[in-house]
Amino acid sequence: QVQLQESGPGLVKPSETLSLTCTVSGGSMWNYYWNWIRQSPGKGLEWIGYVYRGGTTNYSPSFRSRVTISVDTSKNQFSLKMASVTAADTAVYYCARKGTTPATWFDPWGQGTLVTVSS
């Protein structure tokens, strides 16, 4: 059974870069789409983007200008970097898997990690 676990700093200063890692256990990363999603009281659930296989990525237009998602299949991990954060980026960040095409649902999800942007 595949499990996902987010890790990274819980506090980031404004204008700095948010960096999170998702570790995948219990299954192969190959052939699936690996996603980042965030949830905040103001915006609800927002899909940020995904990475696939050798590094193919797709980002939401809302985040494209300042987000990078990468994958390290040798470590069974994928990562999110979000630049120039502001208080509006304070949210719970989830990693989640999609199926073998992008037009699928999210399952499973990591437990989520709260990131607060504050000086």
Site residues (vs another protein, CB under 8 A): 44-47, 58, 60-62, 94, 98, 102-112
Contacts of 42 (CB under 8 A, 6+ apart): 88
Q: Which of 110, 104, 95, 101 shows the shortest CA–CA distance to 34?
A: 95
Answer for the pair 81, 17: CB distance below 8 angstroms, yes or no.
yes
Q: State which residue, 42 or 54, has the beta carbon closest to another protein.
A: 42
Minimum CB–partner distance for residue 72 and another protein (Å):
23
Minimum CB–partner distance for residue 107 and another protein (Å):
4
Q: State which residue, 8 or 112, has the beta carbon closest to another protein.
A: 112
By three-state DSSP, how is residue 37 classified?
A: strand
Q: State which residue, 5 or 73, has the beta carbon closest to another protein.
A: 5
